[in-house]
């Protein structure tokens, strides 16, 4: 199995619109495009049967973040709009209250947006870890 600098695990395609998923996925890819990367779909609720490539950095969006705690402890792990965990850097838009049970339009819209200051922090984390 090939090694990558970064593996990005997408969120649940059934939540949100295709446009919202395109928006968040494009935002993440914009942050990682200068490195070798692989994108993993999270079609299944359980990725235990899915081979996740080895990487130095793992990024999970929403449902995709639930797999971060099971991955290499020496890797950088970034959760966007998902769960936190030991050694997991969590980034959540201030409008995103989905994990608190708020499924209003404002919360759902916020769930699919990485604010600019978080983009800078995420990019800095990745760059300092990989360079």
DSSP string, 58-121: EEEEGGGGGGGGGS-TTSEEEEESS---TTEEEE--TT--GGGT--SHHHHHHHT---HHHHHH
The number of helices, as runs of H, and strands, as runs of E, in the chain is: 3, 5
The tens digit of pLDDT for each residue in 92-122 reads: 988 888 878 888 888 888 889 999 999 999 9
Lowest-pLDDT range of 12-21, 25-34, 36-45, 61-70: 36-45
Which residue ranges make up each domain of the chain? 3-130
Higher pLDDT, 36 or 12: 36
For domain 3-130, the CATH architecture is 3-Layer(aba) Sandwich (3.40)
- Taken in order 60, 64, 67, 72, the sign of the CA dihedral is negative
Share of the chain above pLDDT 90, in %: 57
Task: State the pLDDT at residue 122.
Answer: 98
- Taken in order 105, 109, 112, 116, the sign of the CA dihedral is negative
């Amino acid at each position: 199995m090939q090694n990558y600098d970064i593996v990005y695990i997408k969120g649940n395609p059934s939540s949100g619109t295709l446009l919202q998923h395109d928006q968040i996925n494009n935002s993440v890819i914009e942050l990682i495009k200068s490195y070798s990367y692989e994108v993993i779909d999270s079609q299944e609720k359980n990725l235990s049967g899915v081979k996740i490539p080895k990487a130095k950095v793992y990024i999970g969006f929403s449902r995709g973040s639930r797999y971060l705690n099971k991955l290499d402890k020496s890797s950088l792990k970034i959760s966007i709009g998902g769960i936190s965990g030991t050694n997991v850097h969590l980034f959540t838009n201030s409008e995103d209250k989905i994990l608190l049970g708020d499924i209003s339009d404002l919360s759902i819209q916020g769930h699919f947006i990485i604010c600019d200051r978080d983009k800078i922090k995420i990019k800095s984390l990745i760059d300092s870890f990989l360079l």
